[in-house]
Structure 1
Amino acid sequence: MRWTLKSEINPQITSKLAQELGVENTIAKLLVNRGIETFEQAKDFFRPNLNNLHNPYLMKDMDCAVSRIEKAISEGENILIYGDYDVDGTTSVSLVSSYLKTIHPNVATYIPDRYAEGYGISFQGIDYAEDNGITLIIALDCGIKAIDQVNYAKEKGIDFIICDHHRPGDKIPNAVAVLDPKQEDCEYPYKELCGCGVGFKLVQALASNQGKTIDDLVEYLDLVATAIAADIVPITGENRILAYFGLQVINQNPRTGIKAMIQQVKKEEFTITDVVFIIAPRINAAGRIKHGNYAVELLTEMDFDTAVKFASEIEKNNTDRKELDKTITNEALQQITDNSEEQTFSTVVYAENWHKGVIGIVASRLIETYYRPTLVFTKSGDKLAASARSVKGFDVYNALEQCSEFIEQFGGHKYAAGLTLEPSNYENFKAKFEEVVKNTLPEELRTPEISIDSEINLDEVTPKFFRILKQLEPFGPQNMKPIFMSGGLRDNGYGKKVGADETHLKLNIFQGSDQKTYNAIGFSMGEKHQITANGNSFKAVFNIDENHWNGYTSLQLLLKDIEEE
């Protein structure tokens, strides 16, 4: 692990902000490093307000999108809500279809089959629309590169409205409206919305034309928060506001489908992390193992007993997904070991029988063992399909662009992408990708980094300090849970390896001459016990967390890494 201590951007601004807010310098430094430098900015950050959401009509083509939908409603047209099969796509479809059904009866939904149709807008989906007399398709979380598909639909008299958040290509589809804040000529102030976020802005614009306010749309924010969490978008600006209030809905009054899932896991309060690791995988499992329609049915179901049945089915899908994930990860790790001479800067693995629904998860798992940009391929029809995942700081989307001569189709983000290619191009692609990564991945990015917010003394770790840290939530990209570093630490002699196979490390540590001890736990750090044994002095990086045990709550340090001093 590389330990990187963030530099203090401006000590004068930090001191002034600490004084104005009445907080310790450490808290002020956390805020300044997150771009919050004034009292007003801090107020907006600590007290998110729905009225601070941007006017949806600032987004390019929003007026065209709304007028086309209003025309469809007034003329009784059939509308199809089309979205991808992942969490962002299925929540988007659930949100927009739920809202439109409150004002228009002729609304259908469509999720492409991951295996038969693949990612994005399919010709099969357009044929379905034609067969069912649909004249308007609203595509969510996909479509920004669907040039041919939109033209195909136009020939059949079907209009498209595209709501996407992926990076556009050189050409924009010839749709009635294209809502994507990442378009170069779109002046929308916030560029990091997820697909469901763009869908919500469309609903916000439609609702405002009907005299509704943002308060009338709060019930949809559980879906938006789930998509924000699952799609790993920055939790800044509008995303922070939407996630903050969406979490309140999840915890206080969630829609029936989410309530049914929560009931199964029996957890009282959900954080963004819980949404990422508990709710999102279950929604995703439907599209991975069966069909994304299951997720939309669950998320739009009004009857609780029916939702519980859907949730049980999805729970089974999730269990199956975990088994597949484990099996394929082990096979892929063995393949890397067998081919260790071929690749040293990237990981590219392939087996034709691997389940397409879990290769993205497997790619992330492989990075945990071999920290390098990773692609996992499987057979998909007569093509090969892959999921790509990257390491911190490396743009895998750009790397794939440099290999485009061997790729049939690709799309995605800096850290996650998908692609298809002809089987005959696999070896050439693999060699080219290795070469690109070798030439463009800086040495320092080849080791996992722990980015440390601040060095602190342990006596700063107080209940009051922790209460303020909690107010930085919800955490996520660009507002990660703060990581601290402390040195001059010793264990009081009660430190030990814990867990069934002694893989974890539990310590009672103190600093310097201060005899007050602090509980610390390091998961999967049992092998580092020797560093802390025999009164050795060490330094540690950690989060501050709460430990709930037998009805008693105490602060504890959640260790990320330790080193000898």
Structure 2
Amino acid sequence: MIAQPPPASKRWITKPLPDSAEQRSAIETLTSSLGVSPFLAALLVQRGVQTYEEARTFFRPEINHLHNPFEMKDMDKAIMRLQMAMLPERQEKILIYGDYDVDGTTSVALVYGFLKSYHPAIDYYIPDRYKEGYGISKQGIQWAAENGFSLIIALDCGIKSIDRVAEAKALGVDFIICDHHRPGDQIPDAAAVLDPKRDDCAYPYKELSGCGVGFKLLQAFCLHKGIDLNELYPSLDLVAVSIASDIVPLTGENRVLAHYGLKHLNASPRTGLKALIKIAGFSRELDITNLVFGLGPRINAAGRIQHAKAAVQLLLAESEEEADEFAMAINKHNNSRREFDSSMTEQALEMIRGNESLLQAKSTVLFDASWHKGVIGIVASRCIEHFHRPTIILTQSNDKAAGSARSVPGFDVYEAIEECADLLEQFGGHTFAAGMTMSVDNIDAFRKKFEEVVASRIKEEHLTPLIDIDLPLDFSEISDKLYRIVRQMGPFGPHNLQPTFMTEDVYLVSEPIIMKEKHLKINVRQGDTTARRSGQTFTAIGFGMAHIADLLSPGKPFSICYQVDQNHFNGNVSLQLMLKDIKV
């Protein structure tokens, strides 16, 4: 077990109260039109919901809120090239090519699974994480050419594959690229390049997952061919898993896609996901959190430990027997991944604690040639839990140093890595996560330059864990109705996080309870025995917060920030508070 250091103090940042004349008017309007309390109306106004119509759209996403896919740059070219490949006189062989993570494998399962009903000459390809690396590989292009494929649809990758696309073109292989990563200065010379982050793309929503871009291609295909879109919508279960696992914003179109994807997942999940849900032990309705921590890691584990093709096979499985077999194998991979994750995290933390310069740095860059490439991203995230700063974990792969970066809220790690591009052979990613390859000889120089870039740009507050608090909440306001309405504000995720509240003047009702040596359970009320503001008593749970117990005592007030949740136990359902932090 890793020794747990005293957690760093967290910054509590309370969002501004909606207090302008326009906002106060909106609160009054929502209070009367929706029949909710002024507190809940204020919570909605805080999230930009000010009218009854906006509230209706927010609480009841509709499938017709999806944008026209032909608004995306090159979508018409993509459909023309796809249609040409499917002509009876051509019957070109089409290869669906996707990355090895959750977004990539769900993308491949989505596009291959749908198009195979309309074009028999189709197959899919997932690169080997260790032999081929991220993105479009030489081996993949060579395999496609040797096996007679003349069109590759690349999903969740390809936007920076200038050379690879040119090599494929020379071999007579065209590309349709469906990506959502930031483009470089040059766009690949492909038959079509779909990426809402292109500077010249006017598509109204920029934050789709890779699987989401693949879905837009299929949506356009259906519209062009006159196929009933109801044939496509059940595949939104895959899109929801990709949105959750790739940590893209849960706003706009993503919110609609995730909402309907979760509906399909909970009502009639595809056979493979049903097997995965069962093996993950979920018995109640799934939400985004279940996908992030339950399904996503298991799908990812296939490519981290062996080959991600097993994940696609699971997602495409038709019989329950086949699905159960794949799910069991993937679950074993996930268990192995956890073991690697735990031992590598312990080694990484010891490296930091044993090096004064690393302890004082504004960034973390660690290298060990023996580390498992499949879990370096997870280890980077674990390190940030202990040392809150941009982190890159590197290991040796094919005589190169391969790395995975994670960042902290408010700091763009991709831009910082871009400043070090002269020391890299390849890199790509997002604001908060990126990957890279470099010569092993460049590691020390990269570490030094990356630290200089981070130190010059990062603000001191970025180095302290942040808790965003929506509103102060009096215990008297907490009710089943509040919980029901707050729950309807989901699906929750980046840019639409589950509301976090803060309550002051909180007292213990009984002695704190420590669970499993690391979790805290307390019974609390607001106001002391002589000046009690609320008669309500709540159970509050703080995961990993056992260290706070010694600071709490009856008669001593404290403040809490938390989320309101439900506890299901022995058939009984009650409200409980999920603690984010306590300040004495």
Q: How does 1:294-309 map to 2 (within 5 A)?
A: 294-309=310-325
CA distance in 2, matches of 1:346, 1:374: 6
CA distance in 1, matches of 2:41, 2:403: 43
Aligned to 2:375: 358
CA distance in 2, matches of 1:490, 1:338: 40
CA distance in 1, matches of 2:320, 2:62: 31
**Which one is further off, 397-406 or 277-286?**
397-406
Q: How does 1:64-213 map to 2 (within 5 A)?
A: 64-74=77-87, 75-213=90-228
Aligned to 1:439: 456
What is the CA distance between 1:403 and its match in structure 2?
A: 1.3
Aligned to 2:547: 527
What is the CA distance between 1:157 and its match in structure 2?
A: 0.7
SS of residue matched to 1:498: strand
Aligned to 1:23: 36
SS of residue matched to 1:535: coil
Aligned to 1:416: 433
Q: How does 1:399-414 map to 2 (within 5 A)?
A: 399-414=416-431
Contact 2:518 2:546 in 1 (8 A): yes
SS of residue matched to 2:389: coil
State the TM-score, normalizing by the size of structure 1. Answer: 0.98
What is the CA distance between 1:502 and its match in structure 2?
A: 5.2
> Out of 467, 481, 503, which is 1:486 matched to?
503
What is the CA distance between 1:23 and its match in structure 2?
A: 1.5
Number of equivalent positions = 563
Contact 2:344 2:379 in 1 (8 A): yes
Aligned to 2:261: 246
SS of residue matched to 1:332: helix
State the AA in 1 paired with 2:382: R
Aligned to 1:282: 298
CA distance in 1, matches of 2:543, 2:388: 19
1:448 aligns with 2:447: no
Aligned to 2:366: 349
SS of residue matched to 1:515: coil
Listed as ranges, the gaps of 5+ residues in structure 2 are 1-9
What is the CA distance between 1:527 and its match in structure 2?
A: 1.8
Q: What do residues 227-259 of structure 1 show as CA deviations (whole Å, max 9, x unaligned)?
A: 000000011111111101101111111111101
Contact 1:288 1:358 in 2 (8 A): yes
CA distance in 2, matches of 1:183, 1:164: 10
CA distance in 2, matches of 1:212, 1:7: 48
State the AA in 1 paired with 2:333: N
Aligned to 2:72: 59
1:466 aligns with 2:475: no
1:44 aligns with 2:57: yes
What is the CA distance between 1:123 and its match in structure 2?
A: 1.0
SS of residue matched to 1:488: strand
Contact 1:531 1:538 in 2 (8 A): no
State the TM-score, normalizing by the size of structure 2. Answer: 0.95
Aligned to 2:15: 6
Query: What is the identity percentage for the equivalent residue pairs of Structure 1 and Structure 2?
Result: 51
CA distance in 2, matches of 1:538, 1:464: 26
State the AA in 1 paired with 2:15: K
What is the CA distance between 1:202 and its match in structure 2?
A: 0.3
> Out of 392, 406, 429, which is 1:375 matched to?
392
Q: What do residues 142-163 of structure 1 show as CA deviations (whole Å, max 9, x unaligned)?
A: 0000000000000011100000
Listed as ranges, the gaps of 5+ residues in structure 1 are none
SS of residue matched to 2:579: strand
CA distance in 2, matches of 1:308, 1:530: 46
Contact 1:76 1:106 in 2 (8 A): yes
What is the CA distance between 1:40 and its match in structure 2?
A: 1.2
Instruction: List structure 1 segments (4+ residues) > 4 angstroms apart after TM superposition.
Output: none
Q: What do residues 501-557 of structure 1 show as CA deviations (whole Å, max 9, x unaligned)?
A: 254232232335133212211122222124331311111100000011111000011
CA distance in 2, matches of 1:556, 1:479: 21
1:540 aligns with 2:560: yes
CA distance in 2, matches of 1:356, 1:233: 23
CA distance in 1, matches of 2:518, 2:496: 33
CA distance in 1, matches of 2:27, 2:451: 44
CA distance in 2, matches of 1:500, 1:159: 56
CA distance in 2, matches of 1:49, 1:330: 46
Aligned to 1:498: 514
1:33 aligns with 2:46: yes
SS of residue matched to 2:552: helix
State the AA in 2 paired with 1:231: D
CA distance in 1, matches of 2:380, 2:506: 37
Contact 1:521 1:559 in 2 (8 A): yes
Pair 530,501 (structure 1): closer, same or farther in 2 beyond 3 Å: closer
RMSD between superposed Cα atoms in Å: 1.2
Contact 2:566 2:575 in 1 (8 A): yes
Contact 2:506 2:558 in 1 (8 A): yes
CA distance in 2, matches of 1:263, 1:520: 29
**Which one is further off, 482-491 or 35-44?**
35-44
